[in-house]
Amino acid sequence: MRTPPRLLIADDNPLNVDILRTRLAAQGYEVLTASDGIAALSLARAQQPDLLLLDIMMPKLDGMKVLNELNDDDALRGMPVILLSAKATSLDVELGLKAGASDYVTKPCDPIDLVERVRSVLAKTG
């Protein structure tokens, strides 16, 4: 893991991205952003972030498909991923975690809670 850790936020809602980027940058993280699944995969491959915050419902390629692509790529397999979604049923959470996500956060999320979850996932992988 690099210092500071590099995070990639992939979300098609500019307001969500802005809030998360501001909060995480204030904690000292390097933050990259993508507004769709294809851009997220491209940035993940090019920048090798230490953690991906991944919205499930995105244009071009949804978050679950991005997660599957990460798992199928030898260079990206094992990259920690926190799924972010308004889909909040226990089945949605279970499917996300079974697909390989490190954590699952329902929207709207508390930015302070999310920062703690980021710290926790990075601590487990670093």
Domains of the chain and any CATH numbers: 6-125 (3.40.50.2300)
DSSP 1-65: --SSPEEEEE-S-HHHHHHHHHHHHHTT-EEEEESSHHHHHHHHHHH--SEEEEESS-SSS-HHH
Q: What is the pLDDT at residue 110?
A: 87
Query: Which tens digit of pLDDT belongs to each residue from 60-116?
Result: 999 999 999 999 999 899 899 999 988 888 888 999 999 999 999 998 888 889 999
Query: Which tens digit of pLDDT belongs to each residue from 6-57?
Result: 999 999 999 989 999 999 999 999 999 999 999 999 999 999 999 999 999 9
Among 90, 68, 88, residue whose Cα is nearest residue 79: 68
Q: What is the pLDDT at residue 125?
A: 85
Instruction: Give the global pTM.
Output: 0.94
3-class state of residue 100 by DSSP: coil
How many CA atoms within 13 Å lie on the side-chain side of 106?
9
Q: How far apart are CA 14 and CA 2, in angstroms?
A: 26
Among 61, 76, 67, residue whose Cα is nearest residue 101: 67
Tell me the two tokens of residue 33: 């952003």
